[in-house]
Amino acid sequence: MDALRQSKVFAILMLVAVLIVIWYLAAIWLNAPVILDRLSREGITPDVVDLVVRTWSYNRPILPAPHQVAIDLFNSTLMLAPANKRSLIYHAWITLSATLMGFVMGTVLGVALAIFIVHNAAANRSLMPWIIASQTVPILAVAPVIVVLFFNLLTGDNLIAQMLRLNSDGAQLVSKGVISMYLSFFPVVVGMVKGLRSPELIQLDLLRTYNATGLQTLRLLRWPAAVPFLFASMKVGVAASLVGAIVAELPTGAQAGIGAKLLIGSYNGQTIQIWSALILASILAGLLVAVVGLVERATVRSMGARP
């Protein structure tokens, strides 16, 4: 019993249970006025139990109850074929593919920038302020501009478009991926600059005594020393990437994806659908971070970390 009480799973489940209780109470508090108003127009005065049950089963609630969201999530994921456009899996995959593409591009860009910054004194002084400034731009405001710009660039009549020959789905994917990249490269740059600079002076001196080239120093010392920093950055980056993909779908009139689902839900007042899309997005984020964590554990173990 004590072991159970001290386990991580128990702690997490306790927290979830507390949150669900709060959620149910909030559903009563937020939905009751609407229901009382409607019932009073019909001349009905409900008793307390009746009111509570109604607040938890109303079909257009201000705040849907957890079980309503759970049932909707279940029905729209597991009860429909993944290719069905009403299936949340279908929308999640659209968003996930943009997320992964942007995450890979962002990580590569971040690592490349960090290597450049660490090896070039001018880049070190000039680039970092711009990189930081890039993240102060409100992404929600510039996302539509960037998405539309890239979409036109990739489908229009120019060299890049002719080289890549993307169809409109592909162009949409890449232009959303750009927003994900924009958000995810930042933690990678910051982490990797620190990581590539993490070797001790004595280790750098050692390689100097061997007359090692800059490339050898990078490959044999700076890169392996930066690996733990890379994974910490990638965990932040992958979550930011998902946010970027959703944000890219929100204001651009996208027809598919979690962002589009959120937007359509809010147009139609379908709060239950909004919430199930939100919950799915957070499950997705959790899974992505967990996958990065698993790769990290395997990598760090192969690099001889203490178990």
Partner 1 sequence: MTVVSARNLGLTFKTDDGDVVALSDVNLDIEQGEFVSFIGPSGCGKTTFLRVMADLEQPTAGSISINGMTPAEARKKRAYGYVFQAPALFPWRTIEKNVALPLEIMGYSAEERRQRIARSMELVNLAGFERKFPWQLSGGMQQRASIARALAFDADLLLMDEPFGALDEIVRDHLNSELLKLFARTQKTIAFVTHSIPEAVYLSTKIVVMSPRPGRVTDIIESTLPKGERPLEIRETPEFLAIAHRVREGLRAGHSYEEHA
Look up residue 3 and give its amino acid.
Answer: A
Residue among 71 and 227 whose Cβ is closer to partner 1: 227
List 120, 216, 255, 266, residue binding partner 1 (CB under 8 A)? 216
Interacting span for partner 1 (CB under 8 A) from 28-36, 123-131, 211-219, 275-283: 211-219
Give the pair of three-digit tokens for residue 144: 């539509």
Residue 213 CB, nearest distance to partner 1 (Å)? Answer: 8
Residue 207 CB, nearest distance to partner 1 (Å)? Answer: 7
- Between CA 95 and CA 283 the distance in angstroms is 13
Pair 173, 97: CB distance under 8 Å: yes
Give the pair of three-digit tokens for residue 128: 């970092």
Which positions from 170 through 189 interact with partner 1, judged by CB under 8 A? none
- Between CA 153 and CA 27 the distance in angstroms is 46
List 124, 149, 160, 200, residue binding partner 1 (CB under 8 A)? 200
Which positions from 132 through 161 interact with partner 1, judged by CB under 8 A? none
List 206, 283, 291, 298, residue binding partner 1 (CB under 8 A)? 206
- Between CA 187 and CA 196 the distance in angstroms is 14
List 82, 224, 253, 269, residue binding partner 1 (CB under 8 A)? 224
What does 219-276 look like in DSSP terms, one character per residue?
A: IIIIHHHHHHHHHHHHHHHHHHHHHHHHHHHTTTT-SSSHHHHHHHHHHTT-HHHHHH
Radius of gyration in angstroms for the set of CA atoms belonging to the chain, rounded to a whole number = 25
What would the x/- binding string for partner 1 be over residues 24 to 53, using CB under 8 A? ------------------------------
Residue among 224 and 293 whose Cβ is closer to partner 1: 224
- Applying CB under 8 A, does 221 fall inside the site for partner 1? yes
Residue 214 CB, nearest distance to partner 1 (Å)? Answer: 12
Q: Is 198 helix (H, G, I), strand (E, B) or coil?
A: coil
Q: Which of 156, 176, 167, 154 is nearest to 247 (CA)?
A: 176
Pair 241, 177: CB distance under 8 Å: no
Residue 224 CB, nearest distance to partner 1 (Å)? Answer: 5
Q: Please work out the total of residues on this chain that contact partner 1, with binding judged by CB under 8 A.
A: 20
Give the pair of three-digit tokens for residue 279: 């919950």
Interacting span for partner 1 (CB under 8 A) from 8-16, 128-136, 149-157, 201-209: 201-209
Give the pair of three-digit tokens for residue 73: 């999530």
Residue 118 CB, nearest distance to partner 1 (Å)? Answer: 18
Residues that bind partner 1 (CB under 8 A): 200, 202-203, 205-212, 216, 220-221, 224, 227, 303-306
